A = this chain, B = another copy of it.
Amino acid sequence: MTYCVGLMLEAGIVLLSDTRTNAGVDNISTYRKMFVFEDPGERVIAIMTAGSLSVTQTAMARLRDAAALPDGPSIMTADTMLGVAEMIGTTLGEVAADVSRKMGAQGQNAQASLIVAGQRKGGEMRMFLIYPEGNFIEATSDTPYLQIGEHKYGKPILDRVVTSRTSLADAQKAVLLSMDSTLRSNLSVGMPLDLAVIEAGSQRVGLQRRIEADDEAFHAMSTAWSAALRDAFAEIAL
């Protein structure tokens, strides 16, 4: 399983992903699920992945290979963020179909979903959730966040504190507390975490941080939040 969450706010984009992958509960590993494509000041695209690792790794490799070629179509040359989402969706759908065809003999199939967020110079910030088949939806000011993977445990906090006017600092708190609730309840979501912040109009990743399992600031925030929740609970009248 996985938990990735992205907020698209007036002030910018905040992304957080875990790193746990598992095949059953007895085979867990750490893999990065956040990938950044950046031409600083010109274009920034961040992708977070959930689902079959063989699908997401192959899809990311194909996107990276295309972007590395000096010319030819790639997500670094697409005219718009919509074009970027379409290109990524098509790649994802093709890879999933390839892998599922190979696995079909065992009666299994493989799929993945992605969050794609970014901005090109002269364009708006956009954030998309790309479904396994390659189609997608987009975050709006009414619903300024998207989640993939184990989204339920961490949703109540987002619903209560996030609007499109939330500051980038509060947005980082919100995604970290949303992740904290998820980590407590679902073993298949695990540390370390990858956090990224893209300020609106900057076309670059302003902050990118890996939060390790022993990160003191994250641990302090988690403890303070538990204490604050218990205090708040004690003060509520029945």
Chain A positions near chain B (C-beta within 8 angstroms): 152-153, 155-157, 159-161, 169-170, 172-174, 176-177, 181, 184-185, 217, 220-221, 224-226, 228-233, 235-238
Q: List 28 A-B contacts (CB under 8 A).
A: A152-B152, A152-B153, A152-B185, A153-B153, A153-B155, A156-B185, A159-B184, A160-B226, A160-B229, A160-B230, A160-B233, A169-B238, A172-B238, A173-B236, A176-B238, A177-B233, A220-B237, A221-B236, A221-B237, A221-B238, A224-B236, A224-B237, A228-B235, A228-B236, A229-B229, A229-B232, A231-B232, A232-B232
Q: Could you tell me the distance in whole angstroms from the C-beta of A105 to the nearest C-beta in chain B?
A: 24
Known: A153-B156, A224-B236. A230 touches B161 (CB 8 A): yes
**Whole-angstrom distance between the alpha carbons of A237 and B181 in the complex?**
17
User: What are the residues of chain B within 8 A of A172 when measuring CB–CB?
Assistant: 238
Q: How many copies of this chain does the complex contain?
A: 2
User: What are the residues of chain B within 8 A of A230 when measuring CB–CB?
Assistant: 160-161
**Whole-angstrom distance between the alpha carbons of A155 and B154 in the complex?**
10
User: What are the residues of chain B within 8 A of A176 when measuring CB–CB?
Assistant: 238
- In the complex, the chain B residue whose C-beta lies closest to that of A150 is B152
**Whole-angstrom distance between the alpha carbons of A230 and B225 in the complex?**
11
Are A236 and B177 touching (Cβ within 8 A)? Answer: yes
A155 CB contact (under 8 Å) in B185, B229, B237: B185
Are A233 and B184 touching (Cβ within 8 A)? Answer: no
Are B174 and A159 touching (Cβ within 8 A)? Answer: no
User: What are the residues of chain B within 8 A of A157 when measuring CB–CB?
Assistant: 229, 233
User: What are the residues of chain B within 8 A of A231 when measuring CB–CB?
Assistant: 232
User: What are the residues of chain B within 8 A of A225 when measuring CB–CB?
Assistant: 232, 236
User: What are the residues of chain B within 8 A of A173 when measuring CB–CB?
Assistant: 233, 236, 238
Q: Could you tell me the distance in whole angstroms from the C-beta of A88 to the nearest C-beta in chain B?
A: 28
A156 CB contact (under 8 Å) in B169, B170, B184, B224: B184
Are A161 and B229 touching (Cβ within 8 A)? Answer: yes
- In the complex, the chain B residue whose C-beta lies closest to that of A161 is B233
